[in-house]
Structure 1
Amino acid sequence: MSVEELGGVAERWLPQGTCAILAFDIASFGDASRTDDVREIMRDAMYRQIDASLRAAGVELGRCYREDRGDGAMVLVPPETGTEPLLTAAVDMLKAELRRYNKAAADVARIRLRVAVHTGEARHDGNGIVGTAVNHAFRILDAQPFKDALKESGAWLAVVVSQRVHDDVVRHGPGTIDPDEYRPIDIAVKETEGTAWVRVPGAPSTPPAHRIGAEIAERPAAPLSHGLLRAGGATPLPAEPDVVPLAAVFEVVNQMCKVPLMTTEQGRNQVMGIVRGEISGAVPRHAEARQDVYSIVNTCLDYPGGLRELLMAIKGLAGEPMPVMELERTIARVLPRL
């Protein structure tokens, strides 16, 4: 599917009032090591990822209004789509899509994405979109503390929400939103000053304090990488985004497919009903058993402790027959730090 095949939306819906505003930006898109061909591949991948994430939230990109921004995009979402699924289902799917793409992409073509979410009045004037709310979305997207948050985390994705979105939605914790995953940053961009709230999916929201000499300095939060834990404790290991070897993933998938519970759609659905919603809701499901198991395992690896949670769900429903015990041994062998 090309970028053009995803477009053609202006004639379908034109903003004329309150709506959700999403602004996307690929970090370091203009890096000199990237050729125009590489940038075209990255842009095409970004639009695919945006479309998949919006579908997870219940709306197609083709039904939204969008404008291309070269190194990113602006997407305005019809008001019937609530803000909560954009912060949960859409973000979870975007994180998964970025991980899948970056695992296969060459280093020069990997995408690190910043996303801003705001709500407010926007109006199409026949030439494009006007509205203070649109300006504000790009101000928080371009804020240096937000750029620093993504860079210092080492993650593929970071999300910033406006004070309005935080006050109206995030702080109330609807659905699977966890307000503690967001931390405030100061915004000072052009005429805009105030506070916005950053979430780096998979990373702690509050950086630990470390003493340097006689002063206390904030150390940036490190991303959680596939739930890796220190032996004997629950302290996450700081790490760059970890890429589990594909051979290890397939070995786990092969063994999981030998568990009778995971060979039927009903059994897999029962297992995913136990796994926490932010994981199960991010899994692109498939009718074919092996593809579905691969998708489940791959998604669980995106979340701290996700694969362990999946194993516990399988053991809870299937008990500990030989295939389940062998699955546990396989995970311990090919992913020894889990």
Structure 2
Amino acid sequence: MSVGELGGVTERWVPRGTCAIFACDIASFGDASRTDDVREIMREAMYRHLDEGLRAAGVGLEKRYREDRGDGAMVLVSADVGTEPLLTTAVDTLRAELRRYNKAAAEVAKIRLRVAVHTGEAHHDGNGVVGTAVNHAFRILDAQPFKDALNESGMALAVVVSQRVHDDVVKHGPGLIDPDEYRRIDIAVKETEGAAWVRVPGAGSRPMAPSGSEVVQRPPDPVAAAGDVPRAGEPPFPPEPEPVPPQAVFEVVNAMCEVPLMATEQGRNQVMRIVRGEISGAVPRQSETRMDVYAIVTTCLDYPGGLGELLAAIKGLAGEPMAVLRLEQTIARVLPRL
């Protein structure tokens, strides 16, 4: 049932068959160091950023049904949306929003989020949704190897997909999906045993440590420097990059807004078509020029080499007039390590 006005009462879509299941929860939500006030702030932020991610993926209120889960949420999405935008645009936008939230939040209020995506039959019985697919989504969400993957990564978000989603969607690499970013884990939760597939956005190209008895043999890299070899006990993921000072970001945004190409929506759209889809698809685009440029810059900073890629696209389309040269000089001055 889609959203519509009938006699002044707004109806909502509810699942009655095949749909996508997008479940998430906040890691260590019940930590004793957190008060109820802090948990309330975290829940509000989670729901706000979850909504932003889903909207960016084209999932409006008329195509989703939501249930609260205390330390998380479950969203069921109409089958006509497709799974690919949930795994790419929704997840990457959610990650970018969490990065910005965590940068400003106190340590006790920072959010680390686990996300599970599954597809299958679900039905609303008047009190909530029921279905084996719903149960399975939460089993893979609660799987210990998945929790370990997030904890070991040091990242703010990780996503796990069911074997069905992997076989039907991920392994074929449609749209912005890169199958090589996923690795298999074995799960055993309650009555559920089987496999699932984990992706940790932003973890870089370094492979995740295998779980359980899984052993991966790789030949040594003859050109790897000794300093690049991880020591025993080190996490398999690189640490989160150091946060960029807000003032530096504002200076870059100011300089970028002075480039005529970036002062128009059409120009910004042309630039973002050149930037790789992983980045452009994660930008929460805004209608106002400065806010849109800010969203583009901060999202590019989430990805290694992202800002340089953006600058190269601007230079390629705008040439090298003085405004572009000033932008390049500003970036070199305030963000020398990039």
Amino acid in the other structure paired with 1:92: D
Report the Cα offset of residue 133 of structure 1: 1.0
Q: Contact 1:255–1:326 (CA<8 Å) still a contact in 2?
A: yes
Q: Which residue of 2 aligns with 1:147?
A: 147
Q: Report the alpha carbon displacement of residue 13 of structure 1 after superposing the two structures with TM.
A: 2.3
Q: Percent sequence identity over matched residues? A: 79
RMSD over aligned CA atoms reads 2.3
Q: Which residue of 2 aligns with 1:306?
A: 306
Q: Tell me what 1:175 maps to.
A: 175
What's 1:106 paired with? 106
Bigger shift: residues 48-57 or 135-144: 48-57
SS of aligned partner of 1:23: strand
- Cα distance change on mapping 1:218 and 1:104 into 2, 3 Å: closer
Instruction: Write the distance in 2 (CA, Å) between the matches of 1:10 and 1:153.
Output: 43
Cα distance 1:14–1:292, how it changes in 2: closer, same or farther (>3 A)? closer
Residue 218 of structure 1: how far off its partner (Å): 9.3
SS at match of 1:240: coil
**Runs of 4+ displaced beyond 3 Å:** 207-211, 216-221
Match of 1:5 in 2: none
Which runs of structure 2 are paired with 1:1-338 in the superposition (5 Å)? 12-61=12-61, 63-204=63-204, 206-207=207-208, 220-222=235-237, 238-338=238-338
Q: Which amino acid aligns with 1:76?
A: L
Q: Is the 8 A contact 1:23 1:116 kept in 2?
A: yes
Once residues 58 and 167 of structure 1 are traced to their aligned partners in structure 2, the CA distance between those partners, rounded to angstroms, is: 23
- Rounded to whole Å, the distance in 1 between the matches of 2:57 and 2:287 is 21
Partner of 1:195: helix, strand, or coil?
A: strand
Q: Which moved more, 1:304-313 or 1:249-258?
A: 249-258
Amino acid in the other structure paired with 1:173: G
Distance 1:270 1:124 in 2: 43
List per-residue Cα deviations over 1:247-285 (Å, max 9, x = no partner). Answer: 110111122222222222222222112111222222222
Aligned to 1:65, the other structure's residue is in SS state: strand
Change (3 A) 1:287 1:69: closer
Q: Which residue does the alignment assign to 2:223?
A: none
Q: Which residue of 1 aligns with 2:213?
A: none
Q: Partner amino acid for 1:325? A: L
TM-score by length of 2: 0.86
* TM-score, with structure 1 as normaliser: 0.86
Three-state SS of the structure 2 residue aligned to 1:204 is coil
Distance in 2 (alpha carbons) for counterparts of 1:243 and 1:64: 34
CA distance in 1, matches of 2:33, 2:253: 36
Question: 1: CA distance between counterparts of 2:55 and 2:46?
Answer: 14
Any unmatched runs of 5+ in structure 2?
1-8, 210-217, 221-230
Alpha carbons of structure 1 residues 219 and 170: separation in structure 2 relative to 1, 3 Å? farther
Aligned AA (2:261):
L
Instruction: After superposition, give the CA deviation of every residue in 1:144-175 in whole Å (9 maximum; x if it has no partner).
Output: 11111111111111000000000000000011
Name the SS of the counterpart of 1:25 in structure 2: strand
In 2, are the aligned partners of 1:210 and 1:217 still within 8 Å (CA)?
Answer: no
Q: Which has the higher mean CA deviation after the structures are superposed, 274-283 or 165-174?
A: 274-283
Bigger drift between 120-129 and 76-85 goes to: 120-129
| Residues 8-48 of structure 1 deviation map (CA, whole Å, 9 limit, x = unaligned) | x9952222211111111001111111111111111111111
Matched AA of 2:272 = M
* 1:158–1:200 CA contact under 8 A, matched in 2: yes
Q: Distance in 2 between matches of 1:70 and 1:145?
A: 22
